Amino acid sequence: MAAQRKLSVTENMVASGIAVVGATVVTHPIDVVKVQLQLSAKDAQADAFSIRRFVSFWAKFQSRVGLRGLFSGVQAAGLRAATYGSVRIGLCEPLQQKVGNKTGGAMIAGVLATVVGNPFEVLKVRLQARPGTAGELELLRSMLQEEGLAAFGRGFGWAAARSALLTASQVVPYASAKSALHRAGIPEGGPLHILASLVAGVVSTTVTAPVDVLKTKVMSSEDGAPLNVAGLLKKQGPFVFFKGWLANYVRIGPQTLFIFVFFEQSRRLVEHWGR
């Protein structure tokens, strides 16, 4: 088998963007349910870890908003994936080489991705928090008129922290697991990519849960009031920082799988186009 040629930075970003958009669209309904659970005022522990709560919540939510509601904000999510995803995954390897550290390079790529993706993320979260109330363009106009451009920078700090942690806990474990499994005798191909992706997904879910909850709460707010973290902890206990954990696990596992499986395929397409 011929060795894969090294992609240029631009080619790597294109392949990454394609992969992240595909994975985002496939897993979007789970992301909507996750946001709803994170904003729920009910039992934090059940919202975090209960399979029964997750299944019953999904069923009740879908019966209320329909299939269309499960795809609220999917266009904003696609735009975010195309910008944020291409930078987060596409610049990760070049930055790792530049700084000489895998984790450091991955975290820098995550923060840079947030700079370009945060406006679309705010729009996505608003639509997911209130499904069926407005379309992308209608909400965009409303936010600009009532809140100004500053609204699209809301939650940037939490989003950047999440993105840095997510990138480091997806890309680094994926690469490490893939190398280890390959050395153990699993040949290059679909099964190797799937197993390595599942490992990375488990790590990502746990590492990013607290900042993901805080990001959602800040971005979904329309008044711009600062988040009272201590108040949340006092009112709902430590499980508040893991609300939607199970939904996030169910989403991130397959999303990580789809990102890297799609990336392996989109990489081949880009290699073919670049000949």
Taking the C-alpha atoms of residue 213 and residue 237, their distance in angstroms, rounded to an integer, is: 14
Give the phi and the psi of residue 254 in degrees, each rounded to 5: -65, -35
Angle, helix 136-146 to helix 102-129, in steps of 10 degrees: 90
Q: For residues 184 and 213, what is the distance between their CA atoms, to the nearest angstrom? A: 37
More confident residue, 257 or 4: 257
* Gyration radius from the chain CA atoms: 19
- pLDDT of amino acid 9: 77
Which residue is it, tokens 């099964």? 191
Closest residue by Cα to residue 12 from 81, 78, 85, 86: 86
The pLDDT value recorded for residue 144 is 92
pLDDT recorded at residue 3: 52
Q: pLDDT digit string (tens) for 177-224?
A: 889 999 998 998 878 888 887 787 778 888 899 999 999 999 998 877
Q: Structural domains in the chain?
A: 9-267 (1.50.40.10)
Output the pLDDT for position 114.
94
Residue 270 has pLDDT above 80, yes or no: no
- For residue 2, is pLDDT > 50? no
24 pLDDT above the threshold of 60:
yes
When pLDDT is averaged across residues 28-49 and rounded to a whole number, the result is 91
Confidence class of residue 1 from pLDDT cuts 50, 70 and 90?
very low
pLDDT digits (tens, 9 = 90+) for 115-166: 999 999 999 999 999 988 778 889 999 999 999 999 999 999 999 999 888 8
- Contact status, residue 271 vs residue 7, Cβ threshold 8 Å: yes
Question: CB-side exposure of 181: number of CA atoms within 13 Å?
Answer: 21
Give residue 80's pLDDT. 94
pLDDT at 124: 96
For position 106, what pLDDT does the model report? Answer: 85
275 falls in which pLDDT band (50, 70, 90)?
low
258's tokens? 């789809």
Burial (0-12, 13-18, 19+ Cβ within 10 Å), 68: exposed
C-alpha 129/C-alpha 217 separation (Å) is 10
Chain centroid, CA 150 distance in Å: 22
